[in-house]
C-alpha cells in the first residue's frame, strides 16, 4: 500500500525540496513546472480536503494559504517532521496512507501529488472505491502524478531514461507502479466519477475526477 517505500522517503526527506526545485538533473523534467502543478491542484480543490503523501508540506502550505481545511496524511516520520517544521503547526500531519487515514464527517476534496504511483493497480482500485464512498456528489479527487497514455509509452520512457544515463530514474520507472490513463479513466467511471486529464510536463498529468 505504498509503505514499502518509506525507507526511500526517510532518506529523500533530506534533499526532496532541492530535487523539486530542479537541482537534480536526472529528475528535472519530472518536476518541471512543479510550482504551477501545485497551484493547479489547489485551484481545483475545495472545502475540507484530505491530502495523501504530504512529503515536506509544499502542497499542504498552498492548500492552507487558499483557506482550505486540510487533513494531511504522510507515512514517513522524517517527512512528517520536515512538513511540521515548514508549516509551523498550522495543521497536524498524521501518520497514515492511501487506505488508513482519519475520515472526517465531511470531505469535499482528496488530493495528492507525486504519490499515487506507490500503489499497484489493484491497490489503486481499492483506494478509489474507498474515496467513492467517502465523497458526496460534487466531491473531487485531484491527483498529479506520472502516468502514461499506453504501456508502450511507459516502456519508451524507461528506454529514454537509460539512453540519457539516468539510471536511478530508469529504475524508479521500472520498479514503481506507474499506470495508464485509460486504466484510471475506466476505474473512476466505474466508481461514479467523471474524469479529465491535463498534461503538465513529459511525465506528469493532473487527474481531476468529480463524483456524480
User: Does residue 12 register a pLDDT over 60?
Assistant: no
User: Does residue 9 register a pLDDT over 70?
Assistant: no
pLDDT of residue 13: 62
CATH of 3-146+181-211, one of 3.60.15.10, 3.30.420.40, 3.50.50.60, 3.40.50.150: 3.40.50.150
Best CA proximity match to 76, nearest among 170, 11, 126, 128: 11
Query: What are 168-190's pLDDT values in tens digits?
Result: 999 999 999 999 999 999 999 99
Domain boundaries, the chain: 3-146+181-211
User: Does residue 5 register a pLDDT over 70?
Assistant: no
Give residue 15's pLDDT band: very low, low, confident or very high (50, 70, 90): confident
Q: How far apart are CA 154 and CA 186, in angstroms?
A: 18
pTM above 0.85, yes or no: yes
User: Does residue 143 register a pLDDT over 70?
Assistant: yes
Q: How far apart are CA 130 and CA 27, in angstroms?
A: 32
User: Does residue 6 register a pLDDT over 70?
Assistant: no
Cα-based distances in Å from 56 to 40, 87, 168, 195: 18, 9, 21, 28
Q: How many CB atoms lie within 10 A of CB 182?
A: 12
As a whole number of Å, the end-to-end CA separation of the chain is 27
What percentage of residues in the chain have a pLDDT greater than 70? 93
* Residues pairing with 112 in the sheet: 52, 143
pLDDT of residue 168: 93
Question: Mean of the per-residue pLDDT values for the chain?
Answer: 93
Q: Is the distance from CB of 113 to CB of 74 less than 8 angstroms? A: no
pLDDT of residue 19: 82
User: Does residue 198 register a pLDDT over 90?
Assistant: yes
pLDDT of residue 166: 97
The cell for 114 is: 507525486
Query: What are 84-131's pLDDT values in tens digits?
Result: 999 998 998 999 999 999 998 899 999 999 999 999 999 999 999 999
User: Does residue 2 register a pLDDT over 60?
Assistant: no
Amino acid at each position: 500500500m505504498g509503505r514499502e517505500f518509506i525507507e526511500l522517503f526517510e532518506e529523500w526527506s533530506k534533499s526532496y525540496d532541492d530535487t523539486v526545485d530542479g537541482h537534480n538533473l536526472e529528475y528535472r523534467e519530472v518536476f518541471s513546472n512543479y510550482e504551477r502543478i501545485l497551484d493547479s491542484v489547489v485551484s481545483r480543490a475545495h472545502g475540507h480536503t484530505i491530502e495523501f503523501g504530504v512529503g515536506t508540506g509544499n502542497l499542504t502550505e498552498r492548500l492552507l494559504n487558499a483557506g482550505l481545511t486540510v487533513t494531511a496524511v504522510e507515512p514517513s516520520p522524517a517527512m512528517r517532521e520536515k512538513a511540521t517544521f515548514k508549516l509551523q503547526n498550522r495543521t497536524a500531519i498524521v501518520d497514515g496512507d492511501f487506505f488508513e487515514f482519519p475520515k472526517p464527517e465531511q470531505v469535499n476534496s482528496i488530493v495528492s501529488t507525486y504519490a499515487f504511483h506507490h500503489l499497484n493497480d489493484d491497490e489503486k482500485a481499492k483506494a478509489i472505491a474507498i474515496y467513492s464512498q467517502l465523497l458526496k456528489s460534487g466531491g473531487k479527487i485531484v491527483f498529479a502524478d506520472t502516468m502514461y497514455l499506453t504501456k508502450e509509452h511507459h516502456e519508451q520512457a524507461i528506454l529514454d531514461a537509460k539512453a540519457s544515463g539516468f539510471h536511478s530514474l530508469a529504475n524508479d520507472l521500472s520498479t514503481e507502479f506507474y499506470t495508464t490513463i485509460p486504466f484510471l479513466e475506466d476505474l473512476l467511471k466505474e466508481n461514479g466519477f467523471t474524469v479529465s486529464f491535463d498534461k503538465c510536463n513529459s511525465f506528469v498529468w493532473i487527474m481531476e475526477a468529480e463524483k456524480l
